[in-house]
Amino acid sequence: MTILPIRGVRHLRRFQQIAQILARHGFGELLDLLGAAPVFPLARALRRRPSLGPPQRLRMALEELGPTFVKLGQVLSTRPDLLPPAYIAELARLQDTVPPEPWEPVRAQLEAELGAPVEEVFATLDPEPIAAASLAQVHAATLPDGAEVVVKVQRPNIEATINVDLDILADVARLLQTRTPLGELYDLPGIVEEFAATLRAELDFYREGHNADRFRANFADEPYLYIPKVYWEYTTRRVLVMERIRGIKIDDIAALDAAGYDRYRIGLHAARMVIKEVLEDGFFHADPHPGNFFVMPGEVIGAMDFGMVGYLSRRTRTDLVRLYVAAIQLDEEAVVDQLIRMGVVGGAVDRMGLQHDIGRLLRKYAGLPLKAIRARDMVEEAMPIAFRHHLRLPSELWLLGKTLAMMEGVGLKLVPDFDMFAVSRPYVQRFMREMASPRAWMPSLIRGMGDWAQLLDMLPRTGMQLLTRAERGELEVSLRHQELGRALVYLDRLANRLALSILLAALIVGLALLVPAFHLAERGGLITALVILGFALASLLGLWLVVSILRSGRR
């Protein structure tokens, strides 16, 4: 068995750490599958019989493996098309909080990025971080003009560590693609490549700053959301300096009540924010946990942390609205048709089984008022269906489902009878009117008319060329089928066997007729020997033909 290709000594050392952690948490079989167990005898010795279930052990192993694998687990928790629901629920518990980095390496990183001593750049800078995560940590500071800011600093050497882990994950994905049934259903190297692009983008603080600017522009006319300012003169790829905002965490109910805030208005603002992001902007905050949102005076919501965002094209948003309408109408056939149009359903899917499962899910909510339906419950109940039928929803849509469920949870905590569908109804209706308006379909119609005009312009000239070649006998039509060559080989073998069977039958019947015709039973000689030899050869050929047919059937 091929050994996992490890690129360089540094990669080998890191892979050894990964192998030992996996073995310690009961995943030693994975090393056997990869052919890596002989390389790491210590990992084999560390194997033990696990006491916890596989989902719990996987979460613990990912947490111990470090930031790359924690991020991988968080991404997988949004992909119920890849993992069963029990794993999704457990991976959603992954925590991205780690002990802070010592101040001196962080200070060195800051000064290397800013090109000056910290004291020359900031009036004050607290060495004790106010937050620490796997990729970066955040420090409070003030600028020379007195402005309060937060300084987000990438952990020293974290980029090199992540690059090594991503190389190893790419190697593992390539082997699993060929050695497991998952490779027949999913493009595992493609999934790892997409994850690597997402993680490397999260390491680029320039990108995060531009995300904040885009959100600010999108919500310029909405007074209920506040996006802090980015100080670009102090921002680099590894350092982000933003305005510091103060307020009450959006899920701190006691503090909100003590401040006299209207919780219903706060929940309404949070819901409107997400719906606008999804239906109007196609650009949404994909990490809306309560720690990233503060309530400021006037029930204004202040948002933070724009490293993880999602994008929805106009076509995707249109597909989602159509899917939403079909689901509201409890039309499981229309839901399946829409999923097929979206490219979610594979060619080998059991359509009737999928339609039955979706119909059973929709009938569960038949007759219920919309305010009694929870987005979180629907997402969780759709997960087993997606896994069972291998529905390949884009990762952005699973990320959107998780985002909606998280924001609905915040709304329900603020207002127990919060109705997300009631808030979204006017936005959906407005989007549907826009879908039917000439402004929506006219551009595609104009593009289509341009294509048809070009085709009609080319058709006479191209048609004359084809007719001329056909008259001269120069026109050839060739058909190519991927499996046609193999089918022809099988047909050739079948025809040969059939011909051989007919010849054998004729030979045996002919030899049998010679026996009474020449009275061979009463005389010996050369003719009798030839007839006996013919019977022997025919018997051997017949036996070979039977064995060949039986072996072919087993294959």
For 480-546, the DSSP string reads --TTHHHHHHHHHHHHHHHHHHHHHHHHHHHHHHHHHHTTTTT--SHHHHHHHHHHHHHHHHHHHHH
Same domain, 330 and 431: yes
Whether residue 378 is contained in a domain is answered as yes
Whether residue 292 is contained in a domain is answered as yes
Residue 429 pLDDT = 76
CA–CA distance, 314 with 322 (Å, rounded to integer): 12
Nearest to 68 by CA among 190, 170, 143, 219: 170
Same domain, 298 and 431: yes
CA dihedral (512, 515, 521, 524) positive or negative? negative
Element (H, E) at 24: helix 8-24
Same domain, 404 and 296: yes
| Domain final position from 384, 416, 439 | 439
Which regions in the chain score pLDDT beneath 50? 1-3, 8-9, 40, 42-46, 554
Whether residue 411 is contained in a domain is answered as yes
Structure tokens at 91: 């991976």
SS3 state at 333: helix
Which tens digits make up the pLDDT trace of 115-155? 999 999 999 999 999 988 889 999 999 999 999 999 999 99
Cβ-based neighbours of 15, under 8 Å, separated by 6 or more: 4, 6, 36, 40, 168
Same domain, 427 and 492: no
Residue 527 pLDDT = 67
Structure tokens at 27: 């995943």
CA–CA distance, 92 with 87 (Å, rounded to integer): 8
Whether the CB-CB separation of 69 and 172 falls below 8 Å is answered with no
Whether residue 467 is contained in a domain is answered as no
Whether residue 144 is contained in a domain is answered as no
Same domain, 434 and 307: yes
Whether residue 179 is contained in a domain is answered as yes
CA–CA distance, 98 with 132 (Å, rounded to integer): 6
Catalytic residues: 287
CA–CA distance, 516 with 230 (Å, rounded to integer): 109
Whether the CB-CB separation of 95 and 63 falls below 8 Å is answered with yes
Nearest 10 degrees: CA dihedral of 40, 44, 45, 51? 140
Same domain, 312 and 378: yes
Q: How many residues does the chain have?
A: 555
CA–CA distance, 419 with 412 (Å, rounded to integer): 8
- Give the bridge partners for 240, in sequence order: 152
Domains identified in the chain, total number: 3
Instruction: Strand 300-303: give its sheet, edge to edge.
Output: 225-226, 300-303, 293-296, 248-249
CA–CA distance, 233 with 210 (Å, rounded to integer): 13
Structure tokens at 318: 């249109």
Whether residue 22 is contained in a domain is answered as yes
Same domain, 493 and 422: no
> What's the one-letter identity of residue 383?
M
Same domain, 186 and 334: no
Whether the CB-CB separation of 361 and 385 falls below 8 Å is answered with yes
Residue 1 pLDDT = 43
pTM for the full predicted model: 0.71
Nearest to 308 by CA among 490, 540, 134, 537: 134
Q: Which long-range contacts (CB under 8 A, 24 or more apart) does 316-321 make?
A: 316/282, 316/394, 316/396, 316/397, 317/278, 317/279, 317/282, 317/431, 318/435, 320/278, 320/397, 321/279, 321/428, 321/431, 321/432, 321/435
Residue 50 pLDDT = 60
Other beta carbons within 10 Å of 134: 19
Whether residue 133 is contained in a domain is answered as no
Same domain, 261 and 339: yes
Residue 384 pLDDT = 84
CA–CA distance, 491 with 242 (Å, rounded to integer): 72
Same domain, 510 and 406: no
The DSSP output letter for 133 is B
Q: Which domain holds residue 61?
A: 8-96+160-200
Same domain, 418 and 520: no
